[in-house]
Structures are given as structure tokens and as C-alpha cells.
Amino acid sequence: MATGLTMEFQFGTNWSFYSNYVGDIFGAPLAMEALMAFFLESTFVGLFFFGWQRLNKYQHLLVTWLVAFGSNLSALWILNANGWMQYPTGAHFDIDTLRMEMTSFSELVFNPVSQVKFVHTVMAGYVTGAMFIMAISAWYLLRGRERDVALRSFAIGSVFGTCVPNNWRLSVRCNSETVLRMKSRKYNR
């Protein structure tokens, strides 16, 4: 969340010409990210950290899942913006204003490059999360603390960390094929 705030300021300060040129297009997914995901994430991260004594364990679990959902939603909108920069769809150049203008919001959202980048990035995050949970669980096991919780966490992290990389490898292949298909002129020189 912290890096997203600084990036928003940089669009106005360091990349103002770029923001003027494609702001109508590029701003839409970033605004959706701020309105939908950022507020969801920041609200429930606050409840997650400051609600330990006020929430029961089921409410805390719900808050945890909502933080995870908000993070994935945030990744979706940010990668839609990034995918548009890689493969601009749903826009045209207006010669009168010398700016890019959006012609189809759905083409921007369902950009083939951003879809494979989203799956790839989320899978990478899941692998990293599984390894992080396994590392913390191993640390607890080595210290002999919270053995039952550490064993269950390690088992869940192991299963998740074993299943997800297979799908992640598939997403790497899809990502490579999509980039090659969409940007074939770059690679056929």
C-alpha cells in the first residue's frame, strides 16, 4: 500500500507529460484500484492490526480474507494499467488534442497481456507467501515453540507451495506465448 501512494504522486510530479498524454486511459484503472481495492485493503488492514482484542476469531478470519481479496483486486487493476502500457488496446490517438483517448473500457480491462500478467503475478505472490509461512513455521519448530500451530502451518504451506508452482510454470508459458504473439515484430528481427 505504501508504494502505491508514492507512485500516485509521481504521476503528477515526475511523469506529468505522460499523465497528460494518456491520463484519460491510464487513470481509469488506477482510479478503480484506489476506489475499490485501496480503501478495502487499508480499512481491513487497520482492523486486522488494531482489532485483535475487539474481534472474535471468525471475524478476524473474515478480515484476513478481505485483506487478501483487496490485495488481489489491487493487483488486478494495477496490472490492467501495466498491461495497457505493454499492449495498448481500447484507445486511439486524437490528432486534434495530441492525446490518447479511450474507446473501449472493456478492451482495456480484458487486455490479453494484463490477464496473463495478473495470473502470473498472483501465482508468484502465492508461492512467496507459502515459502514465507513455511520459513516462519520452521523457525517455530526449531525453537520448540507453538509446535501444533507450526506443524499445521508448515503442512498447509507445503501443500500450497507444491501445488501452486505447477500452475505458476503454466502461467510463465502463457505469459511468454502472449508476449511473443502480441509483440512478434520486436522478436522477429
Write the pLDDT tens digit of every residue in 128-166.
999 999 999 999 999 988 889 999 999 999 888 888 777
Range of lowest pLDDT (35-39, 69-73, 165-169):
165-169
The reply to whether 4 falls in a domain is: no
Q: Is the pLDDT of residue 7 over 80?
A: no
pLDDT at 1: 60
Residue 3: closest CA among 78, 82, 80:
78
Clarify whether residues 66 and 96 are in a common domain: yes
> How many Å separate Cα 70 from the centre of its chain?
9
Q: 3-state DSSP: the chain helix, strand, coil percent, rounded to 5?
A: 80, 5, 15
Q: 131 and 105, same structural domain? A: no
Higher-confidence residue: 187 or 26? Answer: 26
105 in the same domain as 27:
yes
- Indicate the pTM of the whole model: 0.79
Q: How far apart are CA 47 and CA 63, in angstroms?
A: 7
Residue range(s) defining the domain that contains residue 117 = 111-189
C-alpha distances in Å from residue 31, one per residue of 45, 63, 128, 147, 182: 20, 23, 28, 45, 26
**Is residue 2 a part of any domain in this protein?**
no
Query: Does the pLDDT at position 185 exceed 70?
Result: no
Among residues 45, 75, 109, which one ends one of the domains? Answer: 109
Amino acid occupying residue 116: V
